[in-house]
């Protein structure tokens, strides 16, 4: 079955009297080139355990099953479960689970299933929960090899942004601490049924074996990053003293020690500079 063909997707939807749920961000992929790009860039081999979030009617899942050792897919919409059981019936290496991904214990879920195989996550994500899903994967501290996801174009740009750009922020820094992110392709609304209001991008997150910077206390670093961007127009010194109650003098001395201007803002600092600042500031 080639679910990626628009007429096949429409047939399945009509035969099953399925109604798209806007609240679940249901935009099903119908473009074969984009599907190929997702599969190619995720470099899945027959040794991999793949977690798919939000399989829909199983369009991506089919290709993942052909490439991987095993695929676990987690779908929130109970109406899609019988459809998936049918579209994926020829595959013995897939497990279909009805659950809200954000309510799973991700660590337990993956570790119970991966049996030591490399773990890759692939998903065409519902836009309304893109950031919580990425953050929950990172915060689960599960050893992942890569995450290949379809996200809103604007989110992909924020994730890949570098210091000094308007898109640069705490999301860029968190993700760049754990992964090397790359935009693989931009995807217009015409590649989906129904068409979303915005353009999308395929984003590939290559997980780093070691963080790109050495920092004594990563939690402290993340608190500093979050506080720095909580009010973008504030200087770093004002943002940190207001949000974390760090004495302003300590911040100014630290900046001076790094030859950074006292008016500098978070958006101008690299991950490396944030790490040094975190190590030099007193604990709070
Ligand atoms: N993978 C399919 C495709 O590419 O055609 C469907 C992608 S669609 C953008 C997002 C899918 O995620 C939908 O099937 C939706 O029901 C599901 N979904 C939404 N919220 C979810 C959640 N919290 N947990 C698991 N699945 C969710």
User: Average pLDDT of 76-95?
Assistant: 98
pLDDT at 2 over 90: no
Ligand 1 geometric centre to CA of 196 (Å): 13
Q: List pLDDT tens digits, range 207-263.
A: 999 999 999 999 999 999 999 999 878 999 999 999 999 999 999 999 999 999 999
Q: Whose CA is nearest to atom 20 of ligand 1?
A: 24
Q: Is 78 helix (H, G, I), strand (E, B) or coil?
A: coil
pTM of the model: 0.95
With a CB cutoff of 8 Å and minimum separation 6, the contacts of 89 are none
Ligand 1 geometric centre to CA of 87 (Å): 16
Alpha-carbon span 277 to 230, nearest angstrom: 17
In b/e form, how buried is each residue of 263-272, taking b as 16+ CB within 10 angstroms? ebbbbebbbe
Q: List pLDDT tens digits, range 101-131.
A: 999 999 999 999 999 999 999 999 998 999 9
Q: Which atom of ligand 1 is nearest to the CA of 24?
A: 19
Specify the DSSP class assigned to residue 25.
T
Q: Whose CA is nearest to atom 18 of ligand 1?
A: 54
202 lines ligand 1 (CB under 6 A): no
> Looking at domain 2-207, which of 3.40.50.150, 2.60.40.10, 2.60.40.1180, 3.40.190.10 is its CATH number?
3.40.50.150
Q: Which atom of ligand 1 is nearest to the CA of 61?
A: 1
pLDDT at 1 over 70: no
Q: List pLDDT tens digits, range 141-176.
A: 999 999 999 999 999 999 999 999 999 999 999 999
Percentage with pLDDT > 70 across the chain? 100
Q: What pLDDT is stored for residue 150 in this prediction?
A: 98
DSSP notation for 168-231: -SHHHHHHHHHEEEEEEEEE-GGGEESPPSS-EEEEEEEEPSS-SS--S-HHHHHHHHHHHHHS
Domain assignments of the chain as residue spans, ordered by start: 2-207, 218-280
266 lines ligand 1 (CB under 6 A): no
Ligand 1 pocket test, pick from 126, 191, 196, 201 with the greatest ligand atom count within 8 Å of Cβ, gives 126
70 lines ligand 1 (CB under 6 A): no
- Pick from 70, 137, 73, 138: which is nearest to 102 by CA? 137
CATH number of 218-280: 1.10.8.100
Ligand 1 geometric centre to CA of 145 (Å): 22
Q: Which atom of ligand 1 is nearest to the CA of 74?
A: 25
Ligand 1 geometric centre to CA of 144 (Å): 21
Mean pLDDT of the chain: 96
Q: List pLDDT tens digits, range 177-191.
A: 999 999 999 999 999
**CA torsion angle 168 172 176 181 (round to 10):** -100
């Amino acid at each position: 079955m080639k679910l990626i063909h628009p007429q096949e997707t429409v047939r399945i939807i009509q035969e099953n009297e399925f109604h798209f749920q806007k609240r679940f961000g249901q935009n099903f992929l119908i473009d074969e080139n984009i599907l190929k790009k997702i599969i190619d860039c995720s470099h899945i081999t027959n040794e991999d355990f793949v977690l798919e979030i939000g399989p829909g009617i199983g369009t991506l899942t089919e290709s993942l099953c052909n490439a991987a050792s095993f695929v676990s897919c987690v779908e929130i919409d109970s109406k899609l479960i019988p459809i998936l059981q049918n579209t994926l019936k020829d595959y013995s290496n897939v497990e279909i689970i009805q659950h809200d991904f954000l309510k799973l214990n991700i660590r337990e879920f993956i570790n119970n299933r991966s049996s030591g195989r490399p773990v890759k996550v692939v998903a065409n994500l519902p836009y309304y929960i893109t950031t919580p899903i990425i953050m929950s994967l990172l915060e689960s501290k599960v050893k992942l090899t890569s995450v290949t996801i379809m996200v809103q174009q604007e989110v992909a740009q924020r994730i890949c942004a570098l210091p000094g750009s308007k898109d640069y922020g705490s999301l860029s820094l968190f993700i760049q601490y754990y992964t090397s992110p790359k935009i693989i392709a931009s995807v217009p609304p015409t590649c989906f049924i129904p068409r979303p209001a915005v353009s999308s991008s395929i984003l590939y997150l290559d997980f780093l074996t070691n963080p790109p910077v050495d920092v004594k206390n990563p939690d402290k670093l993340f608190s500093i990053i979050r506080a720095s961007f909580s009010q973008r127009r504030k200087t770093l010194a004002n943002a940190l003293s207001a949000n974390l109650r760090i004495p302003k003098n300590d911040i100014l001395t630290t900046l001076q020690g790094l030859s950074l201007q006292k008016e500098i803002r978070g958006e101008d600092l690299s991950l490396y500079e944030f790490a040094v600042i975190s190590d030099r500031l007193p604990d709070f």
